[in-house]
Structure 1
Amino acid sequence: MKFTYKIILFLLFITVNVTAQIDTLKLQREARALLREGNKLYNKQKFGDAAIAYRKALGKDSKYDKASYNYGNALYQDKNYKESIAQYELTTKTSKDKFAKAEAYHNIGNALMEQKQYQQAVEAYKNSLRNNPKDDETRYNLAVAQKEAKKQQQNQKNNKDKNKKDQKNKDKNKEQDKKNDKNKDQKDGNDKDKKDQKKDPKDDQNQNKNKPNDQKKDQQNKPKPQQGKMSPEQIKQLLESLNNEEKKTQKKMNAKKAKGRKVKQEKDW
């Protein structure tokens, strides 16, 4: 019984493995068919459609290096440089063929060059040459990338120095403006003090002294009321009235004198 049980388990194991292998082979065949479809679309420069076919192929077989590499090429041609690099990197990790790795690194360098990431492109081209030292095209691209990287670094340094200089000048101008404002405030205060010191106290006295003259002058300039003219008859009446008043006054004065005099009594001899 035990022997029979072991045979049954062994047969089940073989069956499962065979079924799995059949399924794997089926997926690989489907992946290859999708790869061929993608290649046809790629040759027709239908890069977007080709990318879809390659992606489906990878869905059937995730370790399909050719599908991954071609997918990267389709993305590159469609100017999706960042996504293409991810596919090329997958090839460099999974492929066992040095020439395939060299081509993947070479294309990574090209995609980085398109994004003006020149120093990273230099490293990619170096990795490509490590896998295929005889590739003259990669060597040429490496020289171009090194030249552009050096130029980019110099431009970045110049821009950095310029920004520092501009900031320094800005701070210097700001500090100078503060000094100018401070000096201006001090100058205004000094001018005010000097003006107060130069002022003669006699000016106030003269100013006050001139005020009565001004008032007198105003009184002189003030129009006087004009006296009314009298007729000869009015003058005569006025004189007569004054004469009468004078007589009355004289009479009153004499009366006052008489009252004030003592009566002299005659002596009796």
Structure 2
Amino acid sequence: MLDYILVNHKFRSSVQDVRAHRDATGGIGTDHNLLRAKIRLHLKCRRKTEEKYRLRLDQSKLTDDCLLSAFQIELANERKAIRRDNKTLSVNEKFTNFLTVFENVTGNYIAARPTRINIGTENVLKVPDPTAAFQIIRRLRGNGQGIKHIPVQNKNHLILTNSKDQLNRWKEYFDKMLNVDTTINEQVLQQIPSPTFDDDELSRQDAVPTLDEVVKTIGQIRNKKAPGKDDVPAELLKAGGHYIAEWLHEIIRDVWEQEVV
């Protein structure tokens, strides 16, 4: 072949189709062919989202009273150091300072030591070919039972061996579980009494959250659950004791009064 279309490696994925038109150059006496390329450019760069490093905790350190006492004292000292500028800061800036200090102090006291990677695992991570890496991982893991080999039964408790029948059974199962036929009786809804609140109850609900409520709420959070967007687990909030409750109460009070989230 004498006719090529040269494309930069960076824009190689933008080429969608290439065709040669032999009859287009028949009248000009040339042995070259007319080439046509269909290109769609992606000018906007796609940025890879970097996953934030999540701090690993050493649960055994949470039972050390001396370590927890030092952890709480360090939090109290850090809060006193930045409390002077709190009057001029916004709610978001106060919460950002809280997370920064909390993460730094936690890393000094309760963070877990990095575990040593197995030599075999380290060699697998260095393999440049993902296919070969996954083959090595499967070989090291052993022959486990795959998902496709898990038996699926029908309504009569008979095992289905055909993959199509298994998919239909799963479809039938979820269709019955998620799509429940319900009928709403309007008369029953009208008989439900509407809740009424007196002035004392309304004033109590509209009042600023107290410190005791914050302490009670922190104590009711369940342990060993996935943290929220701030990556602060419940164990650390409880380990901070009264100092964390006071700090959070200050932020919650500003959110309540300024109506800013």
**Does the alignment reach a TM-score above 0.5?**
no
Name the TM-score class by shorter chain: under 0.3
User: Over alpha carbons, which structure has the higher Rg?
Assistant: 1
**Larger relative contact order, structure 1 or 2 (CA cutoff 8 Å, min sep 6):** 2
When you count helix as a share of all residues, which structure comes out higher? 1
Structure 1 length-normalised TM: 0.13
